[in-house]
Amino acid sequence: MQNSGHYSKVDSHNVFKRLSNATHKQPVRRWKPSDFELGKRLGKGKFGRVYCVREKKSGFICALKVMSKDEILLYKVEKQFVREIEIQASLRHPNCLRLYGWFYDDKNVYLILEYAAYGELYKMLKKRKRFDEVTTSYYIFQVAAALEYMHNKHIIHRDLKPENILVHFHNQIKLSDFGWSVYAPQNTRRNTMCGTLDYLPPEMVESKSHDETVDVWALGVLMYELLVGRPPFEDENSGVTYRRIVKVDLRIPTFISSEAADLIKKLLRYEPKKRISLHNLQRHPWIIKNRGLWDTLKD
């Protein structure tokens, strides 16, 4: 996937300059790496390393994502990267990972992020194989709240999956990774095919335009994967996965309750407009049935 890497230092300067001009939200304070005491490494992503850090003056614990400017430019993802920062910096919701600020030096760009103590939901799922319905309903409810907030601001996430969901104390969900997110003002439809194969909705597989209901479909895939341990249309052969998505070839195991099965079917509708709204999802009988038991998960 490596690009030829034709870029100049001048381009590089302009791209990162846009970052500071575009958002009009330059942190009042100019941060530098030495403002932070480095803790353990939390993980490594495609474009950088993430550390748990303590801001020296305040003692505030947060996550610091360090990304090499050269790598961002080499892979030609600078526009996506800047858009991701602009979008994430504008979000204020308990279930969306906060981006507190950013800064850069000659080599790296640094993102100051909210810290999520339990890390990726994906890793928790791999360890547990699958989640029970009470836990899943609590997670799905919170992701739906985050998406509803974003959609009200006309932002579509477009890459929902367990790898992009972090978990904090008390099982609080933090939606992260806004690299594919897009600002889509009302009545505009998008054409870019994006996201992850297993989570793609039929309209993207069929190269039709899409709107915010792609996130509702992905939420259905997520709910299925959390309850069953694998996504609903998975196959070794990606062609088969595509066909199963378009046919909505859904096989729900018998251990799934009838209320959960009903909600999965209402999320995974071929017709985008027929998918249940995020508002109604939060009042669905499966949520109502389980929400009385969520207190045990908040301890």
Please state the residue numbers annotated as binding site: 46, 65, 114-116, 163-164, 177
Q: How far from 236 is each of 197, 198, 225, 278, CA to CA, in Å?
A: 12, 11, 16, 31
Q: What is the DSSP code (8-state) at residue 64?
A: E
Which residues form the interface with ligand AMP (CB under 6 A)?
42-45, 48, 50, 63, 97, 113-116, 119-120, 166, 177
Nearer to ligand AMP, 15 or 66 (CB): 66
Amino acid letter, residue 185 = P
Nearer to ligand AMP, 150 or 166 (CB): 166
Q: What is the smallest separation between the CB atom of 63 and ligand AMP, expressed in angstroms?
A: 3
Amino acid letter, residue 106 = D
Q: What is the dihedral of CA 100, 104, 109, 115, to 10 degrees?
A: -30
**Tokens 């994906």 belong to which residue?**
122
Q: What is the dihedral of CA 44, 47, 51, 55, to 10 degrees?
A: -170
Q: What is the smallest separation between the CB atom of 95 and ligand AMP, expressed in angstroms?
A: 13
Q: What is the smallest separation between the CB atom of 119 and ligand AMP, expressed in angstroms?
A: 4
Nearer to ligand AMP, 179 or 201 (CB): 179
Q: What is the smallest separation between the CB atom of 36 and ligand AMP, expressed in angstroms?
A: 14
Nearer to ligand AMP, 27 or 43 (CB): 43
Residue ranges at the known binding site for ATP: 46, 65, 114-116, 163-164, 177
Catalytic site residue 159?
yes
Contacts of 180 by beta carbon, 8 Å cutoff, 6+ apart: 80, 157, 158, 159, 194, 195
Q: Which of 35, 159, 211, 215 is catalytic?
A: 159
Q: Which residue is nearest to ligand AMP (CB)?
A: 45
Q: Which amino acids are annotated catalytic?
A: 159
